[in-house]
């Protein structure tokens, strides 16, 4: 009797990079897609306990490497934080 074989697709999640910026915790994520390229997303968390707020940004672009996807997500998170941290001009 011939043993059964199964096709297994591996998906790499690069998610061990967390950056604290002031009151924010930035956690970028790269997830390998079926075609081998990487999708990027990032979590921007603030607050503690029941006051925790987590904003998740997902991007449409695909990248050739997990590192490129993580870099893209991190840069967009930093831009989002800068926009909210800039002083308001009267």
**Tokens 């990487």 belong to residue:** 38
Residues whose CB is less than 8 angstroms from the CB of residue 73 and which lie 6 or more positions away in sequence, other chains included? 28, 29, 30, 40, 41, 42, 57, 59
d(CA 64, CA 18): 21
> Which tens digit of pLDDT belongs to each residue from 6-47?
333 334 445 567 989 899 999 999 999 999 999 999 999 999
> Which tens digit of pLDDT belongs to each residue from 73-83?
999 999 999 99
Which helix (H) or strand (E) segment holds residue 71: the answer is helix 66-85
> Which tens digit of pLDDT belongs to each residue from 48-64?
889 999 999 999 999 99
Structure tokens at 19: 């950056």
């Amino acid at each position: 009797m011939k043993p059964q074989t199964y096709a297994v697709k591996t998906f790499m999640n690069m998610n061990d990079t967390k950056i604290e910026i002031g009151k924010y915790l930035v956690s970028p994520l790269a997830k390998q897609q079926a075609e081998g390229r990487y999708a990027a997303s990032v979590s921007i968390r603030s607050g503690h306990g029941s006051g925790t707020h987590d904003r998740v940004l997902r991007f449409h672009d695909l990248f050739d490497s997990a590192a490129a996807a993580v870099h893209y997500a991190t840069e967009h998170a930093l831009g989002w934080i800068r926009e909210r941290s800039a002083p308001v001009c009267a």
